[in-house]
Chains A and B, each alone.
Chain A
Amino acid sequence: MNWINFPLYSYISCSLWLLGLILIYLSGHKKSLELIGGLTVILGIVVMTVFIIQLWIALERPPLRTLGETRLWYAFFLPVIGIVFFFRWKYKWFLAYSVLMALLFLIINLSHPEYYDKTLMPALQSPWFVPHVIVYIIGYAFLGVSTLVAVYGLYMHYFRTMDSKLMLLADNLVYLGFGFLTLGLLFGALWAKQAWGHYWTWDPKETWAFLTWLGYLIYLHLRYQHPKKVEASLWTLSLAFVVLIVAWFGINILPSAQNSVHVYGN
């Protein structure tokens, strides 16, 4: 048994996203073909939305608890961000990247299917649960892309000529990602006050989320002060993502995380 027809929905969404992407890349300067491509991607997102709603109803709780469930949300939000950026700024490569990342998340879920696990511990049953996790997922999605830009930027800096416009893109992504990261951290604090009585307890997950936040904070200030010194900024941006990954996954294996309230695995 798998999540309600998950493979079927995934195959339909993946096909529509790939088809849309191909149409957009083949469109050349034909606006109509580009529009059809964009709408095909949106249709794929709608199919994924229908699946998530169905899963939510079947689980009788927000599907945001397990890693598989968060991967599902990435598979949903990445194409959403990709298509918004495409219609707003016409970034084809960004749409391609977000669609391919979404496919990767879906493939991981297809190869590691999860059963319905309807249980949700009482502390997680809160109106803050959904906004807290969703803004983090969106923030991580933006910052993930900014890392890609950073790695590409470092390559350009050392082996080719660096275009300052690339840094502008990295900045825009970090502004958005950092904004969402801040919201996630603060929503978490407000929720913690309601669930555990204190807004900040230096729980290992909180500590690492805060470290992530500090990493991007350093990046923003380096950029503000030294817009032309890209090397330090690019390295900071890449390293900040390493901290983000520790905050996201590493928390289950760190010695300091033995008593974390954020370890919910089975």
Chain B
Amino acid sequence: MEIPYRRIREDYLSGFLVGLIILAISTLLEWINMGRGIFLPSWPLNALIGVSFAFILVFLHIFYSDYDSVKWLARVPASISSVVLFTFLTLILGLSIQNDPHASKILKITGLSHVRTSFAFLFSGMYLLTTLGLVILRRFKKITFRNIGFLLNHLGLWIIIFAGSLGAGDVIRLNIFVNENESSSIGYTDNRQAVNLPFRVKLLDFSIEEFNTKLVFVNNSDMSFAGEFENNLIMLQEGLEFEIAEWEFKVLEYLNSAIMDSAGVYIPSSDTLAYPVARIFALNRQTDQELKGYISCGNKIIPPKFLKLDNQHTLPMSFPEPKEYSSLLVLIDSKARVDTLKLIVNKPIKIDGYDLYQLSYDEKMGKWSKLSVINAIKDPWLPVIYIGIFMLIAGSLYLFTIGKTPNEDLK
């Protein structure tokens, strides 16, 4: 059915006006609220708001679907205008520095300094959920392959936005600071408020495994990267041979953790003051000049050691980078069950409804850190989000099937 041009224009004009009204009302509310941002409701208020919102959508669909405004909300121009408004606000979010305490008053009062918690973002999200929700309800009538694909994509997205925004107020994110051979059952919020946890963690051991350090080829004048390559870093390894510019190098010896003995020789050591050391052989192919010497990045106390090649170039060593860091923990849950587990990055542990993450350590101490920082996170709405995510994953697979075979002429 051909849609008259005039109606299309009116539909988009209405969308544009709704967007403007949302922005105007939001700015006014932001002004009245002194730019403090919206408050995130938590359980059970958020659930109540959510159920009411969904109920209103179903109610509108069943009893008022003949009304022009409801019909308009379920049409594509309204969907597009709601997505465009949401995109516009996200664009501000993506371009400006957010939640900067030094932001100017005008940015705070208009909500531009805190888009994510602004009235405009809230209303724009609601507008999006309304258009999306009404479109979904309209398509629920028949179960066909096309409609299933449609529902997976649209309902999946609706669930993610709906549960993600409503559930935000219920997310608990705490940092647990625990030293070796000590235990803690207190978590701290980002505002440093202490919260009692239902479980207790004891840190038996914190350990860091490091990558071998890297050799850097720099200009003497300003210690900038030299050579013709943009990524002038070579991970040291005993026996490794390589060339940079006119130089040939060989790594004669590499010690990850060493100290110098009284005779001036580097020996392997597990002392907390130990540091990485490498002995390098260098040959200049143009001048036949040969050099041998130690390089080291040193540490907080021991200064670094460079190998000066000639008047132009020097070889320093980079600082070690962590390969893996982990905490060996004894966990005692609310029912006094005891378990010993290793917590590593990317592998959270579940306990009493919380997920524990290996977050950080005492970075000044590096691999000698006795402190582990653990993140404890509770997000009760997560299962709902996962339903939305998996629906959308299935929906995107459906997208792979809907392409039509193009005509022969385009070959």
Contacts and interface: CB of A to CB of B under 8 A. Distances in A.
Contacts of A207: 90, 93-94
Interface residues of A, number: 67
Contacts of A118: 211, 235
Given A112-B230, A208-B94, A266-B233, A186 B399 contact: no
Interface stretch (B65-73, B79-87, B191-199, B298-306): B79-87
B86 to A, nearest CB: 7
Interface residues of B, number: 67
Interface string B211-251: 10010000000000000011111110000001110000000
Interface stretch (B17-25, B287-295, B330-338, B385-393): B385-393
A218 interface: yes
Contacts of A89: 405-406, 411
Contacts of B229: 112-115
A122 B346 contact: yes
Interface stretch (A10-18, A48-56, A70-78, A195-203): A195-203
Contact of B400 (A113, A121, A179, A221): A179
Interface string A192-232: 01111111101010011011001101100110111000000
Given A197-B375, A208-B94, A211-B91, A165 B410 contact: yes
B249 to A, nearest CB: 9
Given A1-B234, A254-B95, A171 B403 contact: yes
A165 B406 contact: yes
Given A182-B392, A218-B83, A221-B76, A66 B231 contact: yes
Nearest to A181: B396
Contacts of A178: 396, 399
A150 to B, nearest CB: 15
B263 interface: no
B324 interface: yes
A178 B243 CA distance: 44
Contacts of B355: 197
A218 B84 contact: yes
The 4 tightest CB contacts between A and B, nearest first, are A172-B403, A179-B399, A225-B76, A182-B396
Interface of B: 8, 76-77, 79-80, 83-84, 86-87, 90-91, 93-98, 116, 164, 171, 173, 211, 214, 229-235, 242-244, 321-325, 344-348, 355, 357, 375, 377, 379, 382, 385, 389, 392-393, 395-397, 399-400, 402-407, 409-411
Given A115-B231, A119-B214, A125-B346, 16 more contacts: A117-B231, A122-B324, A122-B344, A165-B410, A175-B400, A176-B403, A189-B389, A195-B346, A195-B357, A196-B357, A208-B94, A211-B91, A214-B90, A256-B93, A266-B231, A266-B233
24 contacts: A1-B243, A114-B231, A115-B232, A115-B233, A117-B233, A118-B211, A119-B323, A122-B345, A126-B346, A165-B407, A169-B406, A175-B399, A175-B402, A176-B403, A178-B399, A179-B397, A180-B396, A186-B392, A202-B98, A211-B94, A214-B83, A214-B90, A256-B94, A266-B233
